[in-house]
Structure formats: C-alpha cells, structure tokens
Structure 1
Amino acid sequence: MLTTIQSAIADDLDAFEKTSWFTSVYPFTMSALGPLNGKLSGVFLPRLSVVVSSFLLAAGSLMTGFANDFNGFVIGRAVTGIGASGVFTVSIIIVLELTESKRRGLAFGLLNSGYTFGVAVGATVAGALLPVIGWRALFLLQAIPALLGGLVLLLAIPMTFTAALVLMLYALSAPKRIPIWPLVLSAMVTILFVSNELYVACDPIIPLTLLRSRGLLLTCLGSVGFMMARWSVLFYAPTYALAVRQWAPSSAGAILIPTNAGFAAGGVLVGWLHVKRPGSFYFPTLAGYGLFPFTLAVLAALSKDSSPAWAFILVVFLCGVTTGAALNYNLAHLLHITPKETHYVATALLATFRGFAGSFGVAIGGGLFTRTLDASLKTRFAEQRMDRAALIRRLLGSPALVEQLDGVEKQIAVASYQDALKLLWLSMALIAAAMLFVQAGTGQKGDAEKRKLEGERQGLINEAQGE
C-alpha cells in the first residue's frame, strides 16, 4: 500500500529523505519477532496468540493514522509490524494443526493467496482512495477489520534474534552510504543470541535440533534471498509505473494485480495438483528457484518507458507464478526434513526468514535503489550544468513527482529512475540465482530416513564393539 501513497505521506510529514523507513520499519519488527511468536504458540494456545496479534495490528494502524510527525508514524508502523508478525506466523501453525497431509498443500496455497491478494488490493484501493479520503483515513480504516478479524478468530478456532536484525537492516537501508558499526554490532549480537540458545538457555526459543539442522538453516537462508528478490518486484513495480510510465496512483497499484494473481495461481495449483502427500519435494523446489531469476532479468531489460506495457505485465505475472509454486514446494519439503515435534518452531522460523526477506528487500534493495537514483540524478543534472539539489531531495522520496516535471528535468528524472530500477532488478536476479545453490544444499532425505540410518549405524557400531 505504501508504494502508492508514500509521496503524499512524505509531503505531509516533510520526510522525503526518510521514505525508506516508511516501508522498512514494518517488516523489521514483523520478522524479528517471528521465532518468539512460534515459541509462544507452543506455550499458549495459538488462537490466543493470533487474537492478541490482531489487536496489536489494529492499535498500530490507529497510531499510524493519528501520527503528526515522522517519529510518530514510524512508531505506529513498528507496532503494526509486531501485530502482523503474530498473525503471519501463527496462521501457518493453525493450518498445520487443522489440515491433514493430503490437503495441506492446498491450504498453504490458499493462505499465501490471501496474503498476496491483500497486497494487490491494498495498493490498488489505496491509490484510488488517496485523493478522496487522504492517507490518514487509509490507516485508520485498517483497524476495523483487524479488530473484527481477531474476534472472529477467537470464536472460530477450536480449543484443541531481534537486536541483531534491526542493527543490520538499519545499516543496509542507509540512503547515502552504508555505516559499518551497526553491521559489526549485528554480528556480535547474533553470535551472542545463538551461544545463549545453545549453551545457556534452559528452555531455548529455538530447539537445539533445529539450530543444528543443515536442512533448516539452508532452507531459511535460501528463502531470505529468494523472497528478498520477490519483494523488490512488489515494492518497485509500482514505482516503475509512477515514475517511468507516469501512471495515476490507482493504476500504478493495479500493476501488482497480475503478479499477485500469478502468485496465488502458482501456489494453489501446486497445492491442489501435486502437494497432496508428505515427503520430499526437493527437485520441484529447485525448479521454481531456477526459473525465478530469469523473470527478474527480463524485468530489468523491460524497465524503460519504451517497453510494451503488456510485456512488463506478462513478466510480473510469470514472476508471481514461479514464486507461488516455489514457496509451496519449499514449505512442504521443510516439513519433510525436520522432526514432526519441531514443526511449530520450524515453520515459525521459515515465516520469520520470509519476513526477513521483506526487511532485506526494503533495506538492501531500497538502499541500493536510492543510492543509484541519487548518483544518477546528480550526474545527469551536473552534465546539464543544472543545480537541482532541492529537486533531487524530493525525487528520492516521491516518484509521483516525475509527472509534474517537464522538459529536461523530466527526461533526467525518468532516465535516472530507469537506471536505478534496472540495476536493482539485475542485482536481485543474481541473488536469486545464488539461492538456487543454497536451496540445493538442503538435501532430499527426510528426518525419518536420517533417524533410521543413524539407528542402523549405531547398531553396527554396537555389534562391532560386542565382538
């Protein structure tokens, strides 16, 4: 939603150089609290966890809508992210509890479709309603369905690393240069957290079997890079429509409809037709991971104002199809390679790392995009001997401003946005391609097979010792 209304917010709060925080603070808190929500769902009832999260989501929306300055807006988005973290993580756990194995793939496909439908509709509706009711009302209205949804879930569901992440993403989201000390502190805090979980904690948030699981680790790391590339499409396809094509905000938001329709179709079809049994989905996952980078490379090539609009829309649709299918296969394979008794926390960790991807997509991708745009604008204006420091500052946070320009200023703005988008999507394509090899390291053998082999090996050792 913020991709289509951030220009109005930046203008109202006079925060053009801080717009990366509009979108980044929400996934920061959402992803950082994922493991904790998974743990709390095992201690308390999942239905209670998701209801409390829904109320926090509503409270954050109200705080955001009533914010009078940048700090108040960011705090409201942070609270909203805390609530969304619980809703996102616990919803996966609830699906695990309430579905049998042959319907689980379809259920996860429908769940992912719900998320992506919300992204598409939110961007389109927000862009259309912005001139009518303003950005504040758009946030205030979100509190109502959040509260009602929490109450419905309470009645409908049956009875039966935070500091490290924030420090790292704070550094990587810097619009002008990347500060080093937050990255160093992030590494130190991460080591401290893992050491505490392994050697000190009596009841660790993350079970030791999962901390030592190569398959889980590589699945989570692969998901981060894969979904980070995916989020670059969700965040910056509307920017392409606004700045390069100069579409209206409602039309710019609508560009997400085909990619999210593809995401839903890919996930649902895979769940309905293929993921109908427990077991390995190693090669189907790799197929999805292998096709996805090609769609990003084509997007980079099409990020010009002269490219056919239908071609861009077709490619974002195919990007969604490959992503939806790959994520469904990926989750099914994770359940195969991890012990059943750890599925709550394992799926919460996967949800967390997918949430990290949103954070990284904003922090790393947004930082790269903003730095490239800033450098391109300065270089092109300098070549024309034009001093436009104030205009550059506004263009960094307001892609909708391009439409209001004319002459050389407009040409430079469009060309600079094209440069930034092309470099962003090419970089994400390379990252997504690397994630294919990370995912390949998870292996095909499931937890039951590994335990059987370990038992046989131990039996042979005992026999040898007995002789």
Structure 2
Amino acid sequence: MSSLAPLMGRLSQVFSPRLCMFFSTLLISAGTTVTATAVTFEHFIVGRVITGAGGGGIFIVASIMAIQMTSPKRRGLYMGLANTGMTVGVSLGAVIAGALEPKIGWKPLFGIQAPLSLLCGIGIFFSIPASHTSKNANYVDLSIREKLACIDYSGALLLTTTIILFLLGLSGPRILPTPLILSAFALPIFILNEIYAAKDPVIPVTVLRSRGTLLSCIATVGLMMARWAILFYTPVYALAVRGWAPAVAGSILIPTNAGFATGGLLAGVFHIKRTGSFYLHTLTAMALFPVTMVVIAFISTETSPWGLYVTMVFLNGLLTGAAMNYALVHLLHLTLPDVHPIVISLLATFRGFAGSFGSAIGGGFFVRVLHRSLNDGFAEAGLKNRGDLIRRLLGSPALVGRLEGKDRDVAVNAYTAALKALFLAAVGFSAVVAVVQAGTGWKEPVKKEQNLEEEEVEGEEGLVAAA
C-alpha cells in the first residue's frame, strides 16, 4: 500500500482520477477474493499484497478529487468528509470483523468484501463525471500507449524495493541490519533516478526542494505514525490488559476515529473558508497532540477510569483530524497553484507511508519491549519453562485473558509496560514532528514573473545609481 501509493498519485495525473479509483477498487475486490480462497500462508499473503495495491490509490485519489472538484471555500469541508469516510471505515471494520469472525470464520469475512468492493467501484465510476479528467495539460492529447510510456517504472520499482527493505529491517522481533543497509543503498539510487533518469518521475524531487513542501510531508508522516500507535495498540490494550472480547475491543476505535472525523469536519466547516496561511492553527494542533499521548501512556493500566480513557483517545483523534486538514490547506498556501496536484499527491503519499511505517516500526519496538518484559517478569516470579507461552503471548494479546494466577499477572504487567513504552516513544516522536512543522514557515511563494520584475527594477535602480 505504501510503496504503490506514489504511483497511483502519478497515474491519476496521467490518466484520470475516475479511472484510477475504479481500478483501485477492482484490485481490492480481486485481492479479497484471493485472500478468501487461501489454502496456504503464502497464498494468503499474495491476496493481502493485491488488496494493499488497490488500497494505495483510494485515499490519495479521493484527496486529489476533493481538491480539484471543490472551491477553496468548501475545500476544507470535503477534505474533512474524505477523512471521515476513511476513519468511519476503520472503526466499523474493526467492530464488524471482530463480531463476525467467531461466527462465520475468516474466509467468508474476506469473501464478503469482494462483491461489496466491486459494487462500490462501479458506483464510483458512474458517479464521477466523465468530464473530470486529469488537470495536467501535458497528458490530455496523448494516446493510451503514450501515457503508459510516461510512467516511471524504474522509479516505482526502486521506491518499492527501498520501502520493503526498510520495513523488513525494523518490523520484526529483531532489528535486521542487512535489509536496512540495502535500503540505505537503494534510496540514493532512487533519488538519482528521479533527478536524472526519469522523464516523468514518481516523486518529483524538485518539488521537495521547497522547504514548506518537504517539512510538511515529513511532519505529516511523523504525526500519522504516532497516530497509528493509537489505532493499532489501543485495541491491544483492551484485549490484553482489560480482558475484553475481540468484538468489544475493536470498539475502542470508535471514539478516537469519531474524534478524527469531528476534528476534520469542524476545521473544514467552521474555519477553512479561505485560502491563505493556517500556520498557527496547524502548529497548535500538532503541539497539543503529544499532550494527549502522555496522558494515554500513563492511564493504559488495568484500573484506570474508563471514561477518562475514552475522552483522551477522542481528543487525540480530534487534534489529528484538525491538524491534517489545516496542514493540507497551509501547504497549498506555501506552494504555487501549478504544482498543487503534485503537492496534494505527495502529501497524501507520505500520509499513506505512515500506516505501514507506524505499524511495522512501532510494532517491532512494541514486540521487543514486550519480549524483554515477559522474560524478566517470569524470571522474577520464579516461573520456568515459559518459552512457548512467551512466543504465543507475543502473537496473541487475547491469550492473556485465558491465563490464571501468576502467569496472568506477569502477562498483564508486561503488556502494560510495553504499551507505556510505545506511547511514550510516540510522545517524543510527535514532539519532534511539531518542531518540524514549525519550520515550514507562513509566507506564500513569490511567482517567477514577480521575481523577474523585481530583478529588472533592481537592475534599473543600479544603472541609475551608477550613472
């Protein structure tokens, strides 16, 4: 999903957002079908890869359309609605899947999604006006063959390789140096390819030379990586520490995603009704985000007030939704209109990175802390021969609820310690993100024509002074 998201952003410019959205839904339908018919683990993973390839285009293309098809006055509203659609899907997916899987099994659960995705894709295709095509004039009169020739296949392959190696090195119970080293070699090759070899690069590196664009993208991926710690590990908290059933544990995502949707909509409906700088608003939301993470880190215990926990995850989502909406509109203020489609694609792409980066890197960190805490806890309790139990606990937080006595106490304490460490790491990370966002600035760019006029005036003044 993360590695193919940049390519989908570029394809929506080469072809049209309408076709790219329809193609993405077809991939999701095919991927869920493959997953539902899996008979081996490898078969299952192939299905998830195909599904992720389709998912890489959905939100990016939706974001591009929300910007292109709306006026600046209503842009914030429709971006808030796009965020709401995504976050409602995440919430309902977790709850519905948790409720249905014990009753119908995982294969039918994936199988149901295939026809639904196909129907949604057909509905989207006929709902989007055929007149809504790429806004890039360079591709309007090209044939399909010429458009396909414009795609930066080498850049897409190099970027995919770089991301996969990077995530592989950091996502497991042990940090693997070889994939990280190979990723470090692949990244500069990708950058050189985009600058010197690619005629139509996947990620236009020249656009990232803008300080506002580069820092906005980095801040977005950083904030959303910290945000994914909430999305992935508050249900783990509910399962392992609180002892909730899987179907109920997924409901913890409802308040935080409701907050995310509310924050985006409030900012879009009541405030973002103009173009211009939203520097202070973006910075304020990002600076308050780690405050909520600190509180969540210290109340992720077995005895903390449940009402307080729901309130804090709601506020965490509220600040994230508002920050994402403000950051997008502020970035449009920092860049020239002719690069807005590229900038939107870049920002959405970096935001797409966050899901995989947050789950892989954060998950690897969490598992390493949990493994150490379980080993130390069982050793201090004098419980021996717990290697197999530790292995199963690392993969199944729901197993904690089936333990008794000292085994359960050690497991609960280990999960509590690992969650606290992860959330505090997210606090430090998101604090750095706020500093990065502060570096974006608030001044709009000066157009080239204006620069030339100023240079001519300065030149004339210099000649007069010399005379």
State the TM-score, normalizing by the size of structure 1.
0.91
User: 1:454 deviation in Å?
Assistant: 3.0
| CA shift in 2, pair 1:91/1:163, >3 Å | same
Give the distance between the partners of 2:15 and 2:319, measured in 1 at CA.
36
User: 1:87 deviation in Å?
Assistant: 1.2
| CA shift in 2, pair 1:360/1:208, >3 Å | closer
Q: Does 1:32 align with 2:29?
A: no
Q: Does 1:224 align with 2:221?
A: yes
2:427: which partner in 1?
429
Give the distance between the partners of 1:463 and 1:366, measured in 2 at CA.
62
Pairs within 5 Å for 1:66-215: 66-160=37-131, 161-175=159-173, 177-207=174-204, 209-215=206-212
For structure 1, which segment, 352-361 or 324-333, has the greater mean C-alpha deviation from structure 2 after superposition?
A: 352-361
Structure 1 contact 266–325 (Cα < 8 Å) conserved: yes
Structure 2 contact 31–51 (Cα < 8 Å) conserved: yes
1:62: which partner in 2?
33
Structure 2 contact 191–205 (Cα < 8 Å) conserved: no
Superposed CA deviations along residues 390-437 of structure 1, whole A, max 9, x for unmatched, are 111111111111111101111111010001000000000110000001
Q: Does 1:298 align with 2:269?
A: no
1:264: which partner in 2?
261
User: 1:248 deviation in Å?
Assistant: 1.1
Give the distance between the partners of 1:460 and 1:69, measured in 2 at CA.
72
Structure 1 contact 258–316 (Cα < 8 Å) conserved: yes
Give the distance between the partners of 1:171 and 1:464, measured in 2 at CA.
59
Give the distance between the partners of 1:85 and 1:97, measured in 2 at CA.
19
User: 1:311 deviation in Å?
Assistant: 1.1
SS in 2 for 1:115: helix
Give the distance between the partners of 2:403 and 2:103, measured in 1 at CA.
23
**Cα-Cα RMSD:** 1.5
Which of 368, 371, 377 does residue 380 from structure 1 map onto?
A: 377
1:47: which partner in 2?
18
Q: Gaps spanning 5+ residues in structure 1: where?
A: 1-29
Superposed CA deviations along residues 184-229 of structure 1, whole A, max 9, x for unmatched, are 2212211111111112222223335413211111111111110000
Letter of the structure 2 residue corresponding to residue 113 of structure 1: T
Superposed CA deviations along residues 212-247 of structure 1, whole A, max 9, x for unmatched, are 211111111111110000000000000000000001
Letter of the structure 2 residue corresponding to residue 223 of structure 1: T
User: 1:120 deviation in Å?
Assistant: 0.7
Give the distance between the partners of 2:326 and 2:290, measured in 1 at CA.
17
Letter of the structure 2 residue corresponding to residue 286 of structure 1: L
Superposed CA deviations along residues 112-137 of structure 1, whole A, max 9, x for unmatched, are 01100011111111111121111221
SS in 2 for 1:142: helix
Give the distance between the partners of 1:343 and 1:34, measured in 2 at CA.
17
Letter of the structure 1 residue corresponding to residue 444 of structure 2: G
Which of 446, 450, 460 does residue 444 from structure 2 map onto?
A: 446
Which of 400, 406, 409 does residue 402 from structure 1 map onto?
A: 400
Give the distance between the partners of 1:36 and 1:112, measured in 2 at CA.
21
The percent of aligned pairs where both chains have the same amino acid is: 51
Structure 1 contact 93–344 (Cα < 8 Å) conserved: yes
SS in 2 for 1:32: coil
For structure 1, which segment, 228-237 or 87-96, has the greater mean C-alpha deviation from structure 2 after superposition?
A: 87-96
User: 1:68 deviation in Å?
Assistant: 2.1
Q: Does 1:313 align with 2:325?
A: no
Give the distance between the partners of 1:252 and 1:219, measured in 2 at CA.
34
User: 1:461 deviation in Å?
Assistant: 4.7
Give the distance between the partners of 2:107 and 2:209, measured in 1 at CA.
46
For structure 1, which segment, 376-385 or 397-406, has the greater mean C-alpha deviation from structure 2 after superposition?
A: 376-385
Pairs within 5 Å for 1:343-358: 343-358=340-355
Give the distance between the partners of 2:447 and 2:292, measured in 1 at CA.
36
Q: Gaps spanning 5+ residues in structure 2: where?
A: 132-158
Letter of the structure 2 residue corresponding to residue 73 of structure 1: F
Superposed CA deviations along residues 273-323 of structure 1, whole A, max 9, x for unmatched, are 111111111110000100000111111100110111111111000101000
Give the distance between the partners of 2:119 and 2:457, measured in 1 at CA.
59
State the TM-score, normalizing by the size of structure 2.
0.91
Structure 2 contact 223–433 (Cα < 8 Å) conserved: yes
Give the distance between the partners of 2:462 and 2:15, measured in 1 at CA.
46
- How many residue pairs were aligned? 436
Relative contact order, higher structure (CA 8 A, sep 6+): 1
Give the distance between the partners of 1:333 and 1:164, measured in 2 at CA.
30
Structure 1 outlier segments of 4+, above 4 Å: 450-453, 464-467
For structure 1, which segment, 416-425 or 32-41, has the greater mean C-alpha deviation from structure 2 after superposition?
A: 32-41
Structure 1 contact 381–387 (Cα < 8 Å) conserved: no
2:410: which partner in 1?
412
Structure 2 contact 262–321 (Cα < 8 Å) conserved: yes
Superposed CA deviations along residues 255-274 of structure 1, whole A, max 9, x for unmatched, are 11000111111100100011
For structure 1, which segment, 296-305 or 190-199, has the greater mean C-alpha deviation from structure 2 after superposition?
A: 190-199
Structure 1 contact 173–367 (Cα < 8 Å) conserved: yes
SS in 2 for 1:327: helix
Structure 2 contact 336–447 (Cα < 8 Å) conserved: no
Which entry has the higher C-alpha Rg, 1 or 2?
A: 2
1:22: which partner in 2?
none
User: 1:463 deviation in Å?
Assistant: 2.8
Give the distance between the partners of 1:226 and 1:348, measured in 2 at CA.
18
Q: Does 1:328 align with 2:325?
A: yes
Q: Does 1:364 align with 2:364?
A: no
Give the distance between the partners of 1:235 and 1:208, measured in 2 at CA.
32
Letter of the structure 1 residue corresponding to residue 89 of structure 2: G
User: 1:179 deviation in Å?
Assistant: 1.3
